[in-house]
Chains A and B, each alone.
Chain A
Amino acid sequence: MNLDLLARFYERMFLIRTFEQTVEAYFARGQMRGTTHGSIGQEAIAVGVLSHVHPDEDFVTGTHRSHGHFLALTGRVFELASELMGKKTGVIHGRGGSQHLAFGNFLTNGITGGMLPSAVGVALAKKLKGEPGVVISFLGDGGMNEGHTLEALNLAGAFQTPNIFVLENNHYAMSTVTERVTGGTFESRVRGFGLPYVRHRALDVLEIHRLFGEIYQRVRETRRPVFLEFETYRLCGHSKSDKREYVVPELEAYWRENDPLLRARRALPEETVREIEERVRRQVAEAFRRAEEAPFPDPAEELKPRP
Chain B
Amino acid sequence: MRYIEHLRQAIEDLLAQDPTVYLLGEDIEEPYGGAFKVTKGLSTKFPGRLLSMPMSEQGYTGLGIGMALAGLKPIVEIMFGDFVTLVVDQVVNHLAKFYEMYDRPLHYVLRTPSGGYRGYGATHSQSLERLFLGIPGLRVVAPNVLSDPGALLKTSVNLGMPVIFVENKLDYARPVVTQGAFGDLFVVETAVADRFPVQRLALPDEPPEVSFVTYGGVLQEVIQAQERLLYDHEVIAETLVISDLSHGRVETLPLRGRAVVVVEESWVQFGWARDVAYRIQHHAGKPALALGARDHYIPASEPLERFVLPTASRIVTETLQFLERATP
Contacts and interface: CB of A to CB of B under 8 A. Distances in A.
Contacts of A152: 59, 62-63
Contacts of A154: 54, 56, 59
A120 B54 CA distance: 14
A16 interface: no
B97 to A, nearest CB: 7
B70 interface: yes
B94 interface: yes
Contact of A306 (B54, B59, B161): B161
Contacts of A111: 89, 93-94
A13 interface: no
Contact of B58 (A120, A121, A125, A147): A147
Contacts of B93: 109-111, 114
Interface string B38-80: 0000000000100000101011111111111111101000000
27 contacts: A92-B101, A96-B101, A96-B102, A100-B102, A111-B89, A111-B94, A114-B94, A117-B63, A119-B66, A120-B62, A121-B62, A121-B63, A121-B65, A121-B66, A121-B68, A121-B74, A122-B69, A125-B67, A125-B70, A126-B70, A128-B22, A128-B72, A151-B56, A151-B60, A152-B63, A155-B56, A155-B59
A151 B59 contact: yes
B62 A116 contact: yes
A85 B61 CA distance: 33
B64 A121 contact: yes
B90 interface: yes
A95 interface: yes
Given A155-B56, A155-B60, A100 B101 contact: yes
B120 to A, nearest CB: 25
Interface string A121-139: 1111110110000000000
A30 interface: no
A297 to B, nearest CB: 12
Interface of B: 22, 48, 54, 56, 58-72, 74, 89-90, 93-94, 97-98, 101-104, 136-137, 139, 159-161, 246
Nearest to B70: A125
Given A120-B62, A123-B66, 8 more contacts: A102-B103, A111-B93, A117-B59, A121-B62, A122-B66, A128-B48, A152-B59, A307-B160
B70 A117 contact: no
A148 B102 contact: no
A306 B102 contact: no
Given A109-B94, A148-B58, A307-B160, A117 B103 contact: no
A129 to B, nearest CB: 8
Given A117-B60, A117-B63, A158-B54, A92 B69 contact: no
B43 to A, nearest CB: 15
Interface residues of A, number: 34
Contacts of A117: 58-63, 65-66, 90, 94
A107 interface: yes
A264 B89 CA distance: 40
Contacts of A148: 58-59, 62, 89-90
Contacts of A147: 58
A152 B160 CA distance: 25
B162 to A, nearest CB: 11
Nearest to B92: A111
B97 A109 contact: yes
Nearest to B90: A117
A124 B63 contact: yes
Nearest to B71: A125
Nearest to A163: B66
Contacts of B139: 306
B66 to A, nearest CB: 2
A115 interface: yes
Most buried by B among A95, A100, A117, A129: A117
A78 B22 CA distance: 40
Given A92-B103, A120-B63, A126-B70, A115 B94 contact: yes
A198 to B, nearest CB: 23
